[in-house]
Structure 1
Amino acid sequence: MTQPPKYTEEQLEEYLKRISYPHSETELTLVQNIRQNIAKDALGTLFELHRRHLTSIPWGNSGLHYSQHHTISLSPEALFEKIVARRLDGYCMENTGLFHIILRSLGYVVYAIGARVGQAVGTGVENGLFSQLSHMLLIVVIDEVKYMLQIDVGFGTYNATGPLLLQEGVISTRIAPSEMRLIKDSLVEATDKSQKFWIYQTRHSLESNWLSMICFADMELLPQDFELMNFGVSQRRASWFTQMFVCTRMILDSTGQEIIGQCSLSGKDVKRRIHGQTEFLGVIESEDDRVKALAEYFDMHLRNSEIQGIRGLVSQVR
C-alpha cells in the first residue's frame, strides 16, 4: 500500500519560517511549538496556519511564464523546492497541494477534493453556472467535525480567509464588511436535481447579493485525479493561465490576527486593496518593471534563466 507523502521535521521547520509562524519564548523549535499548540487547540492553530500561509505565500502562475519549461509539477518535493526553498509563488493545486502535505505531516486528518469555479468569479454577476472540475480544496476533520479550506488567493476579493464549518448557512466575516457562507443546492446544468452540492458564496456587504464562487461534493480525490486536472489547467491552449501572468497575496494586520486586504499584480497594474479601498502602487511598462515589482511587493526573486523564459510569450510585457 502506498503511504501518503509527508514532509520531514526539518522541512516543516523551514515551512513555518517561510510563513513567519510566531515563535514562543521557550527553547522549543517551531515544529515542537506548533505540535503543542495543535494538542491544545487544533482548530485555532489551523486558523493561524491558514491565515499565515495566505499572507506569506503568493498565489501566481509564474511557472507557466517565468521558466524554461512552462509546466507545473505537483510532486511534493517540487512543491517544497519552489514555494518554500525558492520562496516563489504557486497556483491553486500547488499552494493547496503543499498545504495538504504540511497539515498531514503535522498530524491533521485532511483530504483533498475537486471543485468547480463559478462564472460569478469573473463577471461579478450570479447566474448559477460553474466551470469544469479545475480547482482543489481541502477538508480537515477535527473532533469528527469537518471544515473546508480554500488556499487560493487567486480568487482575490472572493477568497475564503479562514476554515469554513461544513454546515449550511453559517455566515462568517471574510474581510470586513464582506461575508462568506456555505449552502447546499442543485446545479442549474445538472439533470438530477435531487443531487445537492456544497456551494461557497460571498457578498461584499449586507446590502449586496450573494455570489456563488465554488461548488463541490464532499468526495476525496487522489493525486492522479489532480495530475489530470493540473494538466488541463496548465497546458490547455484555451486556459487563461497560459495566456496571462498574475500574482497576488493577502495582507495581514500588524497584530497578525486579521487579514485586511490583498496586494496584486495583474496586467500592467500593481495595486493594494485594504478594507475595500484600492491604492495603485505602480504601472508595469516593461519586463524589468515587473521583475522589480515581484521582488519588492511579493519577495519573489527570479533567476536570470527564469526571466528569459517569458521571451516570445503572449504574456511578455512589450
Structure 2
Amino acid sequence: MQQQNGQLRNGLWIKLVPSLYDKNQVSNWLSRIKYPGSWSADNVENFETNLENLSILQRLQIVTFAFENTAMHYTRHHSMDISPPALYQRLVVEGKGSYCFGMNTLFLQMIRALGYRAYSGSGRINTASPDSPPNFLSFVHEVLFVQPIEGSNITYVVDASGGGSCMTRPILFKDGAKVMGATPSEWHTLVKTGRLESSLECSPNSTEPAGVEWRLVVSHGSDSGPATTRILYSFIEDEFFTMDYECSNIGIYTGAWAEKESLFTDNIVCALCFWLSDEEMEVKLAKTIMPETAKCDVYSAGGVPQWDHSLMSRYLGRLGLHKNELRRHVGTRSETLKVFHTELERIAVLREFFRIDIIQADLEYIRGRAPALELP
C-alpha cells in the first residue's frame, strides 16, 4: 500500500495508551509550564486534545525546561536518569531539565495523560557541518508521532526536547512538509529518502533511493549571505520502547560512544528557548515579509502565524551555553552574554539563566572530568 501524505505506513492508527503519570502529575506539569487556565486533577479530563493545543504545549515545554546534561557531571552517579518518576521529580518538581530522551519521554507521557494518541520513535543525529554530506550516529535521539485530530489518523511529528535548532511546533508527517522555526529566518522541512549506502532499492536496478527513512532538515537565513542547510537527524517510523532508550542512554552518559560523539561527555551542554518581548517582536515584524506566507498552513506549508500577541504567533529566541560562554540567539543575530572561567561562575550562570541550581558542594563531582573549569 502506498503511503499517503500525513499518514503512517499502511494507514496505521495510533491507539490511546494509558499514561505513566496520573491526573495530579499532569495538572502539576500544566502549572509548571504555565499552560493558560486553571487545571486540577478534577478537570484535566476536559482538556481539548487538538492540534493547536498540542503546539502550545510543545512551545511551553521548550521555554520552561532546559535541554541540559548537568547531572552527568555534577552528581555522584554521573548518569542521566530518564525513568518517568525521576523525570517528573527533576523537571516538574525541581524545574531542571534533561536532554532529548528525558524531555520527549516526559512530554509523551504527559500528552497521553491528557488524552492524545501518541508513540515515540528514534533517530540518528547528524554531526556533519551545514551543507556537507551527513555523518549519522546511532539511535541517540527520540521523536514523537502524534495523531491529534479525533477520528483521524493524520499524523504529526513532534520534538519537544528544545536542544539546538529545535522544532518549535508540530510538523505534518509528509514528504516536503515545512514549518517555521524560532523566527522566520529558520525553517524545518521533512524529507523522505534513503541512504546511498543502503542495501535496499525500490525495484531491481532502480536508481531511486529506497524511501525508508525520514530526515529533518533545518535552514537558516543570513543577513549577509546565502542560507545554510543542515540535516539535524534522520528517523524511522518504528515504535521504540523504554529499553531501547535506556540502552542508548547508558552509552551516552558513560562515554561508551565518546570516540564517535563526545559532545555530552566533554561538555556541559545547556540550551533554553525564550519568548521575544513585544518590542523585539515589533523589530522582527518590521523586517519580515509576511503576505506570501501568512495564508499558508502553519504545520505543513511554512505558514507564518499572524502576530496577535498569542503563544502561537510569538517568536522565540535561544540561550546556549557551551564550554565557557553563554550566548543569546535571536533570528540571524547572536551575542555573547557571559564569559566565565571558573566552576563557581558557571553554576551562577546556570542558576540565573537556566533555573538550574547546583550547590557548591557538588562541584567536587566534576573534578577531573573533561568539562571541568577552575575549581575552588
| Structure-2-length-normalised TM-score | 0.76
Q: Does 1:68 align with 2:84?
A: no
- 1:302 alignment partner in structure 2: 358
Q: Is the 8 A contact 2:317 2:329 kept in 1?
A: yes
1:248 aligns with 2:271: yes
Counterparts of 1:4 and 1:33 in 2: how far apart (Å)?
17
1:202 aligns with 2:212: no
Specify which of 316, 323, 331 is matched with residue 260 of structure 1: 316
Does the 8 Å CA contact 2:125/2:140 hold for their aligned counterparts? yes
- Structure ID, larger Rg: 2
RMSD between superposed Cα atoms in Å: 2.0
Q: Deviations over 1:196-238 (max 9, x none)?
A: 2111111113942532111111110111111111111221341
Distance in 1 (alpha carbons) for counterparts of 2:361 and 2:18: 33
Q: Are the structure 2 counterparts of residues 288 and 220 from structure 1 closer, same or farther at C-alpha, using a change threshold of 3 Å?
A: same
Tell whether the 8 Å contact from 1:246 to 1:265 is kept in structure 2 after alignment: yes
Structure 2, unaligned stretches of length 5 or more? Answer: 1-16, 203-209, 278-308
Q: Deviations over 1:254-293 (max 9, x none)?
A: 4433342101111111111112211211111111111110
Q: 2:255 aligns with which of 233, 236, 239?
A: 236
SS of the equivalent of 2:236 reads strand
Q: Residue 129 of structure 1 is aligned with which of 129, 135, 149?
A: 135
Tell me if structure 1 keeps the 8 A contact 2:47–2:114.
no
2:157 matched to 1:148?
A: yes
Quick one: distance in 2 between partners of 1:81 and 1:283?
31
Contact 2:130 2:229 in 1 (8 A): no
Aligned counterpart, 2:233? 214
| Selected match of 2:60 from 52, 58, 65 | 52
2:341 maps to 285
Question: Once the 2 structures are TM-superposed, how far is the Cα of residue 78 of structure 1 from its aligned partner?
Answer: 0.6
Query: Any residues of structure 2 matched to 1:171-210 within 5 Å, and which?
Result: 171-174=178-181, 175-194=183-202, 195-196=210-211, 197-205=213-221, 207-210=226-229
Shift of 1:151: 2.1
Tell me how far apart the structure 2 counterparts of residues 32 and 167 of structure 1 sit (CA, whole Å): 37
How many pairs does the alignment contain?
Answer: 306
Q: 2:103 aligns to what SS in structure 1?
A: helix
Unaligned runs of 5+ in 1: none
3-state DSSP class of the match of 1:189?
A: coil
For residues 56-110 of structure 1, what are the alpha-carbon distances to aligned partners after superposition, in whole Å with 9 as ceiling and x for unaligned? 1000101101111101122110111111111112011011111111111111111
The TM-score normalised by the length of structure 1 is 0.90
CA distance in 2, matches of 1:20, 1:165: 26
Distance between the aligned counterparts of 1:263 and 1:209, measured in 2? 20
Identity of aligned residues (%): 25
- Kept in 2, the 8 Å contact 1:187–1:193? The answer is no
Residue 9 of structure 1 and its aligned partner are, at CA, apart by: 1.7
Are 2:12 and 1:14 aligned?
A: no
Q: Secondary structure at the match of 1:309?
A: helix
CA distance in 2, matches of 1:305, 1:223: 33
